[in-house]
Homo-oligomer: A and B are copies of this chain.
């Protein structure tokens, strides 16, 4: 670890979401993983043993293998982990655990979380880098109201990410009245516990994901809203979501119809999206995509298999931009966003990079 590097803990390090943090932070120039924590069941063993099952098979689920550097790190019991031993906590635990653990960690250091536990608290922003990093202003409110030295910043539900990223330039340039979105989500979005059974999704579409549509509607409104005083005023436009599951491994595909306030041609929408840099403009952060949104002219794009990995899974790909004639003004389009890259750990890491850049880490 160089002297500039921050010490980082991964909580929930043995699960699939935690493993994605390990991959996102492998070789990171600013953040070094110095602590791993998980449930009591895994605690006390080096990481290499903690992810082996009884039969000796490695329970590791990311494309690239586990970073060699962390294999010997001992896994600590998350319930007893001392956050003062690190500078930053990345939390990848389930929501119930997050509700217990994260306040204790946030009392000491910044916590970036994939859990939904705190997303709907008035003093907690849900942040997508490039879209609403300015919502980090609520950090001060959190600290004051809760008496924390650190803070909690959750990232949104992975289905919201691509939607909010592509709506933001439309909102800024044309205004938005209504959004209707249908998602065809990948199975990795459900994780592994219990995850989506092959029996349920092969040769099939699963038409319902419990709680997902409410999250999409509520989180999009908050993310695209404005900080007003010490809270976020959600957007006033409606989002109507239908969320389905398809036999796709990674990458959420969404069809989006948008009623805009001002006239908006497909070409103008494409330009707004392609040019959009948002609050990452001019920065050169390690995990940031070179371009937030890639607009494809080929009508056969975006496809989740072909486009999910664009720019390391950090860019959102848009295609099929057409006029939406249902509304006075409007466009419709499709998007693909990588639910386990920009929609998960790497997004949280990018937020941390930004906050370090602006001196708020």
Residues of A in contact with B (beta carbons under 8 Å apart) = 55-58, 61, 63, 178-180, 182, 184, 187-188, 192, 194-208, 210, 238, 240, 242, 244, 246-249, 253, 255, 257, 259, 297-306, 319-320, 324-326, 332, 334
A208: contacting residue among B196, B210, B249, B320, CB under 8 A: B320
Q: Is the CB of A199 within 8 A of B207?
A: no
CA–CA, A61 and B200, complex, Å: 9
* Shortest Cβ gap from A245 to chain B (Å): 9
Q: Are B198 and A324 in contact (CB under 8 A)?
A: no
A304 to B260, CA, bound (A): 34
Q: How far is the CA of A319 from the CA of B244 in the complex (A)?
A: 13
Find chain B residues with CB under 8 A from A194 CB: 194
Q: Which residue of B lies closest to A65 (CB)?
A: B306
With A240-B325, A326-B178 known as contacts, the answer to whether A253 contacts B205 (CB < 8 A) is: yes
> With A57-B299, A298-B58 in contact, is A320–B197 under 8 Å at CB?
no
Residue of chain B at shortest CB distance from A184: B205
CA distance A332 to B320 in the complex (A): 23
Question: When chains A and B are docked, how far (Å) is the Cα of A251 from the Cα of B118?
Answer: 40
Q: Which of A194, A198, A303, A334 has the most CB of B within 10 A?
A: A198
Our pick among B58, B197, B299, B326 for the contact of A198 (Cβ within 8 Å) is: B197
Q: Is the CB of B255 within 8 A of A244?
A: yes
- A182 is contacted by which of B195, B199, B255 (Cβ under 8 Å)? B255
Separation in Å of the A323 CB from the closest CB of chain B? 9
With the chains together, A257 CA to B242 CA distance in Å? Answer: 10
